Amino acid sequence: MSMTDGPTPLETAAAEQAAEEREASAKAAGKSALRQREGRKTGYFSDRWNALSRQQQWAFLVIVVVLAYLLPLINPPIITTEPGNNFALACFDMARFALIAVGLNVVVGYAGLLDLGYVAFFAVGSYCAAMLTSPDSPFLHIPYLWTIPVAMAVTMFFGVVLGVPTLRLRGDYLAIVTLGFGEIVRILATIIPAMKGQVGFQNVGHPPGTEPNGAPIFSNSNGVPWYWLTLTIIIIITLLVGNLERSRVGRAWIAIREDEDAAEIMGVPTFKYKVWAFAIGAAIGGLSGALFAGQVGFVNNQKFDVTTSILFLAAVVLGGAGNKVGAILGGALVSYIPLRFTAIAEYKYLIFGIALVLIMIFRSQGLLPARQRLLAYGRTALNKVISRDGMEAKDKDKPAAGSDAGAAAQRGAEA
């Protein structure tokens, strides 16, 4: 598949809905037309961001990352979750949700598959870490850090086992099967004696290292090192996922999301890429589960009810399905809001349930809409397209531009 093949399915996908918007955008020339296609409310920010030079963007990112690392140490007065919740632990929780949202975003946001049992993968990851490190389990024990790749491999395996029967069919089946799976894992943890039900596994391992006084660095009560570890993992995963997104795999996912039949007809092996998306998402879920098990130090069947899956989904949808930065933001927010505003913590499920419906009805692209533009070509090519004028250039871009105009039009109409 050559580079130009990437967005073609997109074009076919949205071509019909695109027709109207294409006419409209054909009237406006170049840059202004592209501006129009941006999400409405965040268009301003993404324009500003794209106007910066590469170096400025990097400098800005470095500042953000450094601030993110310093967050639990600064403990900013208004943002802090204290006295209700320890802020460093809250930071870890936010990072955990953000990591989960990044993983779920691969499934829901890129490939457009609805995974309603993500907590199950999280649970499988947690149980992997617990059963391989806790003294309560009779199995062989390995160092905690090794459980992370094991947890990822095992959850990936579960993802494939679950994905292969369901992903051959239309996406709806995946939704109900994952929803069931989310509940089944919890039930199995309860009724299989070896999983120890509510008794659970105590003293789950943690990464090595001790402070000068002999206490372990990664203790259950100190959220800071865990937060840093998770944040580092988020950065690595985001970079990897970002690379995937810009690769052939990512283009295939987006083609599948926009129109599966069209993608199939254009030669995208949809089943293969769907299984990949599902398995990668599952592995990231397992990773976050292993981290969670390590931090809490105790795993039992009470921590993984299926309602948590809906919170994860709310995180992705709130942030903007298909946008990894949006997913991080959404994940952090979904975790942060109940921790900060403890008065409404009791209502969090109701709030996020209503939020899901309202977001879908009024702004289905979320806070930060996914970039629909010419993913295959990158920014340089995009700028060239923007700077071009005249009808012949217009004709040349029409397929790609039309496609994302279509998607944007759809989203715009929803806004």
Partner 1 sequence: MLPSLVPLLPTENDWITFDIPSLAENFWSATFDGLTFGAIYALVALGYTLVYGVLNLINFAHSEVFIVGCYAVFFTLSTLGFGPSVPRLDIWSIILNLLLALILAMVASAATAFLLERIAYKPLRQRNAPRLVFLITAIGASFTIQYLIYLWRGPSPELALTMFRPLPIFDVFGTIIDSQQLVIIIAAVIMMVGIDRFISKSRTGRGIRAVAQDPDTATLMGVNKERIIITTFVIGGLLAGAAALFYVMKIPSGVQYNGGFILGIKAFAAAVLGGIGNVRGALLGGLLLGLIGNYGQILLGNSQWTDVVAFVVLVLVLLLRPEGILGTSLGRSKA
Query: How near is the Cβ of 228 to partner 1 at its closest, in Å?
Result: 28
Binding pattern to partner 1, positions 281-320, x when CB under 8 A? -------------------------xx--x--xx--x---
Helix axes 270-296, 223-246, angle to 10 degrees: 170
Task: Considering only residues 191 through 210, tell me which ones interact with partner 1, judged by CB under 8 A.
Answer: 191-194
Calpha distance 364→134 (Å, rounded)? 43
What's the DSSP call for residue 108? Answer: I
Q: Verify binding: residue 235, partner 1, rule CB under 8 A.
A: no
- Residue 154 touches partner 1, criterion: CB under 8 A: yes
By CB under 8 A, tell whether 410 contacts partner 1: yes
Q: What is the largest CA-CA distance in the chain?
A: 73
CB of 96 to partner 1, least distance (A): 21
From residue 173, alpha-carbon distances to 177, 179, 180, 186, 230 in Å are 6, 10, 11, 20, 32
Residue numbers 316-345 binding partner 1 by CB under 8 A? 317, 321
Chosen residue from 3, 44, 58, 168 binding partner 1 by CB under 8 A: 168
Among 43, 149, 171, 216, binds partner 1 (CB under 8 A): 171
Piece in contact with partner 1 (CB under 8 A), picked from 97-105, 187-195, 206-214, 235-243: 187-195
Of the residues 71, 89, 132, 333, which one makes contact with partner 1 according to CB under 8 A: 132
Q: Which of 88, 154 has the CB closer to partner 1?
A: 154
CB nearer to partner 1: pick between 201 and 218: 201
- Spatial neighbors of 124 by CB under 8 A, at least 6 apart, are 151, 154, 155, 158, 185, 285, 286, 289
- Which CB atom, from 231 or from 409, has the smaller least distance to partner 1? 409
Q: Which C-beta is closer to partner 1: that of 57 or that of 190?
A: 190
User: What's the rounded Cα separation, in Å, for the pair 372 and 14?
Assistant: 12
Q: What is the DSSP string of 399-413?
A: HHHHHHHHHHHHHHH
Round to whole Å and give the CA distance between 245 and 240.
9
End-to-end CA distance of the chain: 35
With b for 16 or more beta-carbon neighbours within 10 A and e for fewer, the 80-113 pattern comes to: bbeeebbbbbbbbbbbbbbbbbbbbbbbbbbbbb
Q: Interface residues with partner 1 (CB under 8 A)?
A: 17, 108, 112, 114, 116, 124, 127-128, 131-132, 137-140, 150, 154, 157, 162, 164-166, 168-169, 171-173, 175-177, 179-181, 183-184, 187-188, 190-194, 257, 306-307, 310, 313-314, 317, 321, 347, 349-350, 352-357, 360-361, 364, 410, 413-414
